[in-house]
Amino acid sequence: MRIAYLDCFSGISGDMFLGAAVDAGVPLEKLQSVARSLGVEAELKATRVMRGGISATKIDVLIAGHPDSPLDVDEPAHSHGEQSGHSHAHEEHSHSHETHSHSHAAVATHSHAPEMHSHKSGHSHTHRGLPEIRLIIDGAPISAAAKAFAVKTFELLAEAEGKIHNQPKEAIHFHEVGSEDAIVDIVCSAVAVEAIGACAWYCSALNVGSGTVRCAHGVLPVPAPATAELLRGAPIYSGEVKKELLTPTGAALLKALGVRFEAVPKFVLDATGYGAGGRDFPGTANVVRLLIGEEARAVGGSEMGAIGAEQTDSVVVLEANIDDMNPQIFSYVQQKLLKAGALDAFAVPVQMKKGRPGMIFTVLAAAGDVEGLSRILLTETTTLGVRMRTEKRRILQREHVTVASPWGPIRVKLGRLDGVVVNFAPEFEDCRAIAEETGVPLKTVLQEATRLYLASEPKSS
C-alpha cells in the first residue's frame, strides 16, 4: 500500500504542497498544462531555493504574466485592510462584504514570499462563488477523481468561512484576485495527489505560527478564524516564528486528504520532496517535507517491501457468511475495508443452509488491523459474527520500479523469487488515472507500461 507523509514543522500552504510534490517527482509540465487549461491566464513557475540550508522547490503562480500575490510584504497582506503575519504566498481568506446585499467573501492573499508585486490595475474585480468555481473545475482536463477532490477542498473552505460569518457556503464568494491563484493551487494539488497515488496520507502535528493578523474586523490571533475552523480535531502548536505559517488552503487540503495525525509509520521510502515558502527564517527551514513509499509490514524480523525480505509471513483471515444483505452494499464495504488496510477483500458465492443464495465475505488482514477490519464487517454488513484464523503464506519479494511513459510516470510492481523477477504488472490505478486524464485507451496505457518495463530490464533479471 502506497503511503505519503507530510511533515509540517513550518506549516503548509497550497504552493508549498505543490513544491513538495514536484520535488518528489510529480511532473511539473503536467501541472503547468493543467494551470494553463483553467482559463484564468495562469502559469506555474518552479525555482530551486535554499531554506535553512535545505534545497527546495518554490512554486509561484503567475496570473497574466505577473506574480499572484497582490501586495508587497511590507503592506497589508490580507485584502480589504487585513494584515497578515503569515509567510505563505497566494493563499486565501474569505470575509463577508457587508456593503453588498448578500455575503461576499474577499479572498485575501498571504505573503509567504519576500518579493511581492501588485497586479496590473487592468484586472477586473468580479466575484466568484462556488457555482462558478465548480464550473471551472468541471471544465478542466483532469480526471473525475481529481475534480471531486478540488471541489471538496473549495467546499471545505466555503463551509469554514460560512460558519465564521454565519452564512451558507453557497453564499460565500471568492474575490477574483485571490480566487485565480487559489483555483490553480487547489486544482493542481488535486492532480498532484492523484499522481502520487497514496492510499493513505499521514501528517505531523501542525506548526501554525504565532502573532496576529489584522483584518477588516480588527486584529485577530493566528491561526485566523477560517483556518482554526478547518483545523478542528488536528494537533497544532506555535513555534518561535512570529508569522502565520498555516493557511486556509493548506488546512483545507489536509482535511480533504483525510490525513491521519500520527508519527511516521513503517514504510519503505521511495521519494522525498521539499516545498519552499517564500521567506528564509533564521534558525529554521521554511519548508514542508513530503515522504512517499510503500507500507512495510512486519515479517518475522524483517520488513515487507524491499528486495531480500522474507518469503513467508502470516495473515489473519476474516470470514462472514451473508445471505440477507443488499448486494449494492458489498462494493462499498469492500472499498472501505481496503482503505482501512485490508490486504484483500473478496466474496465467493455459496448456497446457504436454507437454500438461499449467499456469499462468503473474506478479508485478509495484518494482525494489527484485525480489530478495525472486523468492526467494519460487523457494523457495515448484516452478519452476526466474524470467523478469524491465522494462516501462513509464501510470498514473493515485492518491489516497485517506475517507468517514464509519454503520459507520465507509471509504477510497475515486481515479484522476485530468490532475487529473480518472476512476475510483474503495471499498477492498474496509475494506468487508469492516465487513461481517464488523457483519453488514451486503458489497454494501450497498460501495454505501453509493459513494453517500457521490458525494454528497461535485463532479460536475466
pLDDT tens track for 393-402: 888 887 888 8
What does the DSSP 8-state code read for residue 369? G
Tell me: do 184 and 331 sit in the same domain.
no
- Average pLDDT value for residue range 53-62: 94
If DSSP codes are grouped into helix, strand and coil, which group holds residue 359?
Answer: strand
Within a domain: residue 286? yes
Q: How far is Cα 206 from Cα 203, in angstroms, rounded to an integer?
A: 8
Amino acid at 80: H
Tell me: do 122 and 175 sit in the same domain.
yes
Question: What backbone torsions phi and psi does residue 246 show, to the nearest 5 degrees?
Answer: -120, 120
- Average pLDDT value for residue range 214-242: 84
Q: How far is Cα 16 from Cα 266, in angstroms, rounded to an integer?
A: 25
Within a domain: residue 279? yes
At 205, the pLDDT band (50, 70, 90 cuts) reads: very high
Range of the domain at 375: 312-394
Within a domain: residue 205? yes
The pLDDT, as a whole number, for residue 123 is: 42
Tell me: do 288 and 390 sit in the same domain.
no
- Report the number of distinct structural domains present in the chain: 3
The pLDDT, as a whole number, for residue 67 is: 61
Within a domain: residue 301? no
At 19, the pLDDT band (50, 70, 90 cuts) reads: very high
- What is the CATH classification number for the domain harbouring 422? 3.10.20.300
Higher pLDDT, 298 or 26: 26
Within a domain: residue 78? yes
Tell me: do 67 and 164 sit in the same domain.
yes
Tell me: do 186 and 215 sit in the same domain.
yes
Tell me: do 164 and 148 sit in the same domain.
yes
State pTM to two decimals. Answer: 0.58
- Average pLDDT value for residue range 194-199: 90
- What is the CATH classification number for the domain harbouring 355? 3.30.70.1380
For 88-150, the DSSP string reads -SS-----B-TTSSS--B-PPPP--SS---PPPTT----EEEHHHHHHHHHTSSS-HHHHHHH
Within a domain: residue 305? no
The closest alpha carbon to 17, from 185, 140, 204, belongs to: 185
For the stretch 368-417, pLDDT in tens is 788 889 999 999 999 999 999 989 888 888 788 888 899 988 999 988 88
Within a domain: residue 299? no
Within a domain: residue 317? yes
For the stretch 313-323, pLDDT in tens is 788 999 999 99
